[in-house]
Amino acid sequence: MPAGRAAKVLAAVAVGAAVAIAVDGLANRGFAPPPRPGAQGALPMYGPAAPMPPSEPVTLAIAAIGVHAEIGRVGKAPDGTAEVPPVDRPELTGWYAPGPTPGERGAAVVFGHVDSRTSGPAVFYRLGALQAGDEIVVGRRDGSAAVFAVESVEEFAKDAFPTQAVYGPTGEPELRLVTCGGRYDPALGYLDNVIAFARLIPG
């Protein structure tokens, strides 16, 4: 992503991205808490992957945690924070359209809810269980697939959201999956974000 565009993206999300999916904390807690990131295995050795041309993502598959989901488009809310998928469609994910598409050079970002007040666990409920090397397959509108390998899964307090690491420029095609998780407060909801960091691998 050009430096100027990256700076605009960072400016737009710096204030509120960390709380973009705080609505998950309103869920009815009649089920086990979502898994939290643990020790990560070693990432297999991959050679560099060539960036792909832009193409909007349409599907997301993560076999390791049983995710098969549609990807919609989200942008910026009126207050400048990142939008999230509709709260009444907890099975959906949302690609942050101001950033690059998955497979392009740069960090593509996809949001998903961790749970729902009406239906319990949501699309990214098991995100914290991912391990280094697990594959994420993004189906793109042009018929191609961008395949990413998880590098790490980390948990951050919402007031310490790693804006630069999530939205900042990168030297190669990368992907971030973002949800709520970690500590849960009945009054405040989830206090943390769980983020999976992944990079494109050669096809």
Reported as a single tens digit per residue, the pLDDT across 179-194 is 999 888 888 888 999 9
Amino acid letter for position 27: A
**pLDDT per residue as tens digits for the range 54-67:** 999 999 999 999 99
pLDDT band at 30 (very low <50, low <70, confident <90, very high): low
Give the closest residue to 6 by CA, choosing from 114, 192, 168: 168
Q: Which CATH number fits domain 3-28+43-200: 3.30.565.10, 3.40.640.10, 2.40.260.10, 1.10.357.10?
A: 2.40.260.10
| 22 and 190 Cβ atoms separated by less than 8 Å | yes
Number of continuous H segments (helices) and E segments (strands) in the chain: 2, 10
Amino acid letter for position 94: G
At 23 the pLDDT is 39
At 29 the pLDDT is 58
Q: What SS3 class is residue 122?
A: coil
Q: Is the pLDDT of residue 4 over 90?
A: no
- CA angle (145 as vertex; 154, 201 as ends), nearest 5: 55
Average pLDDT over residues 64-82: 92
50 class by beta-carbon count within 10 Å (0-12 exposed, 13-18 middle, 19+ buried): exposed
Q: Is the pLDDT of residue 201 over 90?
A: yes
Amino acid letter for position 75: G
**pLDDT per residue as tens digits for the range 85-111:** 988 899 999 999 999 999 999 999 999
Task: Please list, in sequence order, all residues whose beta carbon lies within 8 angstroms of the beta carbon of residue 64, skipping any fewer than 6 positions away.
Answer: 129, 130, 131, 134, 135
State the DSSP code for 10. Answer: H
